[in-house]
Amino acid sequence: MNINSDNPLLNWDNRPPFDQLEPSQVVSGIDTMLKECESALQKLESSNPATWDELVPPLEKIEDFMSRTWGVVSHLNSVKNSPELREAYESAQPKVVAFGNRFGQSRPIYDAYCRLGDSEAWDTFDSGQKRIIEKSIQGAILSGVSLDGAEKERFNEISERLAQLTTKFSNNVLDATKAYELLLTKKEQLAGLPESYIQMAAETAVRLGHENATVADGPWAITLDYPSYVPFMKNSPHRNLREQIYNAYVTRASEGELRNQEIAEEILKLKMEKANLLGYKNHAELSLSQKMAGSVEAVDKLLKDLKEAATPAGKRDVADLAAIAKEHGAPEADDLKQWDVFYWSEKLRESKFDINEEELRAFFPFERVLDGMFDLVRRIFDIQVVAADGDVPVWHEDVRYFRVLNEAGKDIAAFYLDPFSRPSEKRGGAWAFPAVQRSSLFAGEGEDVRIPVAYMCCNQSPPVGDTPSLMNLREVETLFHEFGHDLQHMLTEVDRGMNSGLAMIEWDAIEIASQFMENWIYHKPTLKGLSGHYQTGEPLSDEMLDKIIAARSFRSGHSMLRQVNFGRFDMELHARHKPGSEDLLNIQERIFEDTLIMPPTEGDMFYCAFSHIFAGGYSAGYFSYKWSEVLSADAFSAFTEVGLENEEAVKDVGMRYRKTILAQGGSQHPMDVYKEFRGREPSIEPLLRQDGLI
């Protein structure tokens, strides 16, 4: 769908005109978009479509126009948040939700899909067409198409209210993170902190209004933004300062105007009510009806098995922390608290593997890591990633743009990369998101398909002064993780936009491709190719590479239990908790104490910033990280089985992976796709072995 309009939000097909978009254009643009979509939907409904061609392509045009237009607004709200854009977004969002309900509850469209499913033509449809029909019927039912009267009206009210609440929850976390600063004014408070970090803290102080701050004399500002918070917790020997900033971190969005307690309670209540209206006992049952896991019992079993496997190692991890603290004569050795974990974990890592993560940063400059990652996908997937900065408008000067070429040198995809933290306007975390879907329906003149375009956003440490962005291993992992998501979007070979790339993939399979990519960081030749000192270009020594790889399973019991804990808390809230029957903090503390070896500290309000389940897509789905990790570890074992040093064999397996996991999108059930790649169902053993738990 295209319309003639002076509003740049509406008149683009493949690459958004970011240099022209303004918050003032959002409300009028969305109003026009919704008016056009409503008109097209009414026309389609009245035509009584009876065939695939009469029904699906017109629907794809409506969905594409809507997702592209609102998608740009949502994207900018995440990466260029401002009071003006936030106001425009919140004004337009209820209208978008209302039309989404109207679209999903269209009885004529639902009936048309049902007729296709029951028609003689069914046997002529390919698997992708059948998936679109089946998933669209299921989606309509879950959108309330079968509801009438007061129930339908209430369902729609809930949908609109949930959209408002999740946005408010997310904004509160962003604002609470931005609002905090720990201002250091004495040089002795900088003990243990790397010089590059001190420089960043001084620049942060200037940005926060301390105009006279200098690297030499301060003041130096520490924030709750991840690149500031984590290095401080790992390196500062001042326990009182670690306690102060830790408590601020775990109480974000829990006080004053930014309180999320009541918002979280209302979200849970409304999700339960919405599930009940659709005939489900709770939100977890509704959520799992669309996932590979299928049932609460299956999720509970996975989390139970992982907890049992990780608990002995988790106990050893805590004992090791106490031992290293005692070795250093620390008074907290017999009474370790959560604000000690990062610090003593880093000291233990240095002692055990002679690895200092902050010193390693110098060997992982951003550009070198990018080049190494692109070389990896060239070797295993036979694609080229080519920088195309300046070819298209971007939303910030740090944003990069890349083209993706196939083995014949033809453009098959493109993506934007927004790598650095900007706490004043960009939400925390990391994510990948489609800008446009691959689709033959929107092919340009002389082209077979419109190629897919993706967004890729991280929050890694930015450049400081003349020093480029230097990455720690966690940031390298995150970059690979998000690139894995984008590869699945970009390397799809499905030509129908409704299930190409990431579309229609079950949520608990969505992390397979992302977590798969993380494994390559611990392949020695790949890791060596990622490294090179930012001043000399010298790669890491073989000895250091071996230490990094050996340290991969360092404290894996603790890490596994942390993820199991989040998954259990999520399922407890959405499968067993009756809203209003128990304070959410009590539930958090109960689950934490049952799962973690070291219980949370008093006053920990972690759930108030748990955006994954209260403001993201992971409600009754946080387990998806571990579910997908089982499959991703098993998928990587297909490469290790042929020998990672056997380039030809690895490329053969890589192309099979590309043609199945990455290519088939949502055109088949993910387990069928996985078995086509692996030749069998996945095993949990590779993950436990990878983490050193067996």
Please, are residues 49 and 55 in contact by the beta-carbon 8 Å criterion? yes
- Position 483, amino acid: F
Give strand pairing partners of 453: 414, 436
Q: How many CA atoms lie within 13 A of 20 on its CB side?
A: 11
Please, are residues 30 and 74 in contact by the beta-carbon 8 Å criterion? no
Give the residue among 548, 563, 554 at the shortest CA–CA distance from 629.
563
Please, are residues 624 and 507 in contact by the beta-carbon 8 Å criterion? yes
360 SS3 class: helix
In angstroms, the CA 300 to CA 595 distance is 13
Give strand pairing partners of 431: 457
* CA dihedral (574, 579, 583, 584) positive or negative: positive
609 φ/ψ angles, rounded to the nearest 5 degrees: -120, 15
Give strand pairing partners of 457: 418, 431
In three-state form (DSSP H/G/I as H, E/B as E, the rest C), the secondary structure along 367-416 is: HHHHHHHHHHHHHHHCCEEEECCCCCCCCCCCCEEEEEECCCCCEEEEEE
Please, are residues 430 and 327 in contact by the beta-carbon 8 Å criterion? no
In angstroms, the CA 256 to CA 357 distance is 37
CA distances for 224 relative to 150, 185, 245, 246, 623, angstroms: 45, 18, 8, 9, 26
In angstroms, the CA 621 to CA 566 distance is 10
Give strand pairing partners of 183: 221
Please, are residues 311 and 338 in contact by the beta-carbon 8 Å criterion? no
Please, are residues 368 and 526 in contact by the beta-carbon 8 Å criterion? no
Please, are residues 501 and 665 in contact by the beta-carbon 8 Å criterion? yes
- Position 453, amino acid: V
* Pairing mode of beta strands 400-405, 411-420: antiparallel
Indicate the DSSP class of residue 660.
I
* Pairing mode of beta strands 431-436, 453-460: antiparallel
In angstroms, the CA 215 to CA 679 distance is 58
Give the residue among 517, 445, 440 at the shortest CA–CA distance from 128.
440
* Pairing mode of beta strands 411-420, 453-460: parallel
Give the residue among 658, 618, 664 at the shortest CA–CA distance from 635.
658
Residue keyed to tokens 């004529």: 108
Other C-beta atoms lying within 10 Å of the C-beta of residue 409: 8
CA distances for 548 relative to 19, 232, 321, 522, 644, angstroms: 42, 21, 19, 8, 18
CA distances for 482 relative to 418, 433, 476, 486, angstroms: 11, 9, 10, 6
User: Cα 379 from chain centroid?
Assistant: 26
Give strand pairing partners of 218: 214
Indicate the DSSP class of residue 658.
I
Please, are residues 618 and 612 in contact by the beta-carbon 8 Å criterion? yes
In angstroms, the CA 152 to CA 141 distance is 12
**Catalytic residue positions, numbered:** 482
